[in-house]
Structure 1
Amino acid sequence: MTSAPASPPSRSWLAHISAGLGLSALLGVLCFHFPELLTSRDFRAVYSEVFARHLLLSGLVAAFLTGTFAILRGRNRRVAMLGVGSAAIAVVLGGATVHFDAIDSTPFSLGLDWFVISLFFSALVFIPIERMLPVLPMSPLRAEWRTDLAYFFIGHVLVQFVLIAVTASTSMVDALVASQTVKNAIQSLPVWLQFLLAVFVADLAQALLHRAYHNTPWLWRFHAVHHSTRRMDWLAGSRMHLLEIVLTRSVVLMPLVVLGFAPAAVNGYVILVGLQAVLAHANLRLDFGWLEQVLVTPRYHHWHHARHADYIDVNYAIHLPLVDRLMGTFKLPPRGQWPSEYGVMKLQTVPVGLLAQARMPLSRRRVFDDYVGRDDA
């Protein structure tokens, strides 16, 4: 008589929280030691040194406490030791007491500070609300969470390089087609009205490109990486090929630069797109009622990601359903209905792993043995 196979041990939340906080604290200390190379010049202007030190100290204390408790309970000890060990190294390197001189100007730098702070607050906000109001109950440590975290890391750390590429492309077009008359007309508007107009213009440009991604085979191979996710949550939206990021940001920001929108309006739009892009992918079952007809909500965008033949060419907007109505691509089922499955229609066309997905659009292979969703197809 054979016994039933033992169920796999459950993952310890405390151990993984300790590992995340410990590694983040270590990255934070390195940012204090090498601010010119590791921190984003534009993002440094948003927060103060005192705030960064307090956040770092809180992370160190929490990493030690959660890691120690997980070790004492005997749950995921290796993961907990990674958190405690990383925090200990951070303390040895100076912890929250590292002092530095004036930051010199450098031609480029990484955005480790943007990654650490963004990850901390995104997880702090979205993990609890996704646990309380989920579309599909699942752990934050769901399948392929490491892959999406790697995308989150790359997208934030390389933010300045992306901005350099975007700025170069938009500035070149601006020099060719800029109209001072149009710029003067835009700039004569109050900033709040410029912001609303910028959201509409940028969303229309993004939606047109987004539809091209879906209907142009060679562009779809890049965009398929984003649609390959089988689990929708706040982290899933980070899964995006780097070349798609550059192309999309260029096309979206180009009309705003060419038309002469005020920097305050453009910055407001950039903040909005960052927040709404995360919210649209969140595993958040909220009934927004009539707002679904005005703003893109999680249910609206979830249906765009649905593995459903009736929804492969709809809901391209990321801000305003009005844009989809103008394009003839607006579609929502009755209130309360959510997709039962996410992912590309042909699962075998997107391989597993960040490196394989980075190479996939540029390779001749069209199907893969180890593909996203193979185990739950």
Structure 2
Amino acid sequence: MTRPHRSFFAYGSALLGVLSLMAVACFHFPELLTSREFRAVYNEQFARHLLLVGLAAAFIMGTFAILRDRNKRIATLGVGTATLAVLLGGTNVQFDPVGQTPYSLGLDWFVLSLFFSALVFVPLERYLGKRVLSPLRPGWRTDVGYFFMSHVLVQFILILVTASTSTIAGLAAFPSLKALIQSLPVWAQFLIAVFVADMAQALLHRAYHNIPWLWRFHAVHHSSRHMDWLAGSRIHIVEIVMTRSVVLLPLLVMGFSTPAVNAYVILVGLQAVLAHANLGIRFGWLEYLLVLPRYHHWHHARQKEYVDVNYAIHLPLVDMLMGTFKLPRDQAQWPEEYGVMKLETVPKGIIQQHLMPFQGGRKYEDFVDDAGLGALPSREGGVGAPPTHLQSVMPSRR
């Protein structure tokens, strides 16, 4: 049975309508719903102008889809949520100055991050993608759920990470090392921080793949059957806290300056999205200098010879030093299929996947798999057939 064509305008209207409604909620309850760290990044006027653009686009795109009789229920959702956002005050919601709040959700961080990420990567993947892949591919709802969780709970995750690292960093005092690091210019501190953090992350990353109980958490990330800008969001919350703690610890111990650490945090956010993106651009020699999509896609390949390689997130040099670098010389060669080797060990859905590591490696009836997955066409016009090597014996932890 042929899947009905999805209207870009209808789904775009729904996305903008829902995000606009969330933005209005942030204006009504800024102390509760907006992150105090992220509030410093943008101003009120910018937020109001962006909300106005989102409301107008939701109405226009939704009305256009309804008039064309395309996905009318989805388009009506977009128009309806945008209308509700206007009725609740729209861009005219007034609020008192926001004080210092000890705890808050990062709904503003979610709204702005999802909006701008989609604005940049959806068109890029549409025209430069290695595979012809809809933004609404199977599993997208699960990945949006992970995106929502990691952004809305950003402050609480930060509290857990800080609590797990600050005491150890305080005990491991190396004044002379800190003085040496801080005597360097910020750009040099940044480069060293990238290497140090990537080495720490890569060692933990390899442990995730080789220690069974750690693999249960990391298998959630590898369970995505499609690779695009949103797929990198699929990470178990326990892994988020562990990874950020391990990466942050050496940076604190060595005493890198705040500007250098902030620059590194920005790089992490950008490169994490880029590395998972569906971009078929040939980067040439840059693939051996920076971790780019094809490099990290091979780490996610559902292929036996790639289950223990390409652990770096920033620098392939880290994998070269660890002896885990592996990349086909032919830049036209990409993985045929993604996901864990034993699909039945990871269930569908964000709640079930968060419970999965605590259930002793059981098998599930409703697991991560997609019918017809091997029939995704590439930009070159070929069709990726399911690889025959997957019939062979698979490693027990994959």
Q: Which residue of 2 aligns with 1:233?
A: 228
Q: Which residue of 2 aligns with 1:366?
A: 362
In structure 2, give the amino acid aligned to 1:357. Answer: Q
Secondary structure of the residue that 1:375 maps to in structure 2? coil
1:280, 1:296 within 8 Å by CA — same for their partners in 2? yes
1:117 corresponds, among 112, 120, 126, to: 112
User: How far apart are residue 198 of structure 1 and its match?
Assistant: 0.4
1:348, 1:374 within 8 Å by CA — same for their partners in 2? no
Q: Which residue of 1 aligns with 2:381?
A: none
Secondary structure of the residue that 1:105 maps to in structure 2? coil
The Cα offsets for residues 243-277 of structure 1, whole Å up to 9 and x where unpaired, read as: 00000000001110111100100000000000000
User: How far apart are residue 11 of structure 1 and its match?
Assistant: 1.3
User: How far apart are residue 130 of structure 1 and its match?
Assistant: 0.5
Go from structure 1 to structure 2 and tell me whether the alpha carbon gap of 1:141 and 1:374 turns closer, same or farther (over 3 Å shift): closer
Query: Is 2:302 the counterpart of 1:307?
Result: yes
2:130, 2:280 within 8 Å by CA — same for their partners in 1? yes
1:347, 1:374 within 8 Å by CA — same for their partners in 2? no
Gaps of 5+ in 1: none
Go from structure 1 to structure 2 and tell me whether the alpha carbon gap of 1:258 and 1:162 turns closer, same or farther (over 3 Å shift): same
2:129 corresponds, among 128, 134, 139, to: 134
**Which segments of structure 1 move beyond 2 Å, counting only runs of 4 or more?**
374-377
User: How far apart are residue 376 of structure 1 and its match?
Assistant: 4.3
User: How far apart are residue 364 of structure 1 and its match?
Assistant: 2.6
User: How far apart are residue 73 of structure 1 and its match?
Assistant: 1.5
Secondary structure of the residue that 2:340 maps to in structure 1? coil
CA distance in 1, matches of 2:177, 2:70: 63
Q: Which residue of 2 aligns with 1:174?
A: 169
Q: Percent identity?
A: 68
Q: Which residue of 1 aligns with 2:57?
A: 62
Q: Which residue of 1 aligns with 2:353?
A: 357
Query: Is 2:22 the counterpart of 1:27?
Result: yes
Go from structure 1 to structure 2 and tell me whether the alpha carbon gap of 1:374 and 1:126 turns closer, same or farther (over 3 Å shift): closer
Secondary structure of the residue that 2:371 maps to in structure 1? helix
CA distance in 2, matches of 1:299, 1:78: 37
Q: Which residue of 2 aligns with 1:76?
A: 71
Q: Which residue of 2 aligns with 1:223?
A: 218
Secondary structure of the residue that 1:100 maps to in structure 2? coil
The Cα offsets for residues 94-132 of structure 1, whole Å up to 9 and x where unpaired, read as: 111111111022211111111111111100110111011
Q: Give the paired residue count.
A: 372
CA distance in 1, matches of 2:364, 2:218: 17
The Cα offsets for residues 179-230 of structure 1, whole Å up to 9 and x where unpaired, read as: 1111111111111100000000000000000000000000000000000011
CA distance in 1, matches of 2:115, 2:189: 32
1:183, 1:261 within 8 Å by CA — same for their partners in 2? yes
User: How far apart are residue 374 of structure 1 and its match?
Assistant: 5.2
Query: Is 2:353 the counterpart of 1:339?
Result: no
CA distance in 2, matches of 1:366, 1:324: 32
What TM-score do you get using the length of structure 1 for normalisation? 0.97
1:375 corresponds, among 361, 371, 382, to: 371
1:295, 1:320 within 8 Å by CA — same for their partners in 2? yes
CA distance in 1, matches of 2:333, 2:370: 26
1:163 corresponds, among 158, 183, 197, to: 158
The Cα offsets for residues 142-166 of structure 1, whole Å up to 9 and x where unpaired, read as: 0011110111111111111110111
CA distance in 2, matches of 1:264, 1:346: 43
CA distance in 1, matches of 2:33, 2:176: 41
CA distance in 1, matches of 2:124, 2:73: 28
User: How far apart are residue 365 of structure 1 and its match?
Assistant: 4.6
CA distance in 2, matches of 1:310, 1:66: 46
89-98 vs 219-228, which moves further: 89-98
The Cα offsets for residues 296-353 of structure 1, whole Å up to 9 and x where unpaired, read as: 0100000000011111000000000000011000010012210010001111110011
In structure 2, give the amino acid aligned to 1:373. Answer: D
Q: Which residue of 2 aligns with 1:259?
A: 254
User: How far apart are residue 170 of structure 1 and its match?
Assistant: 1.3
CA distance in 2, matches of 1:305, 1:212: 16
Query: Is 2:254 the counterpart of 1:280?
Result: no
Secondary structure of the residue that 2:91 maps to in structure 1? helix
What TM-score do you get using the length of structure 2 for normalisation? 0.92
2:225, 2:370 within 8 Å by CA — same for their partners in 1? no
Q: Which residue of 2 aligns with 1:151?
A: 146
CA distance in 2, matches of 1:105, 1:174: 27
Aligned alpha-carbon RMSD (Å) = 1.0
User: How far apart are residue 15 of structure 1 and its match?
Assistant: 0.9
Go from structure 1 to structure 2 and tell me whether the alpha carbon gap of 1:312 and 1:179 turns closer, same or farther (over 3 Å shift): same
Q: Which residue of 2 aligns with 1:14?
A: 9
Secondary structure of the residue that 1:172 maps to in structure 2? helix
CA distance in 2, matches of 1:308, 1:177: 41
Gaps of 5+ in 2: 374-398
In structure 2, give the amino acid aligned to 1:363. Answer: Q
In structure 1, give the amino acid aligned to 2:338. Answer: Y
User: How far apart are residue 8 of structure 1 and its match?
Assistant: 3.3
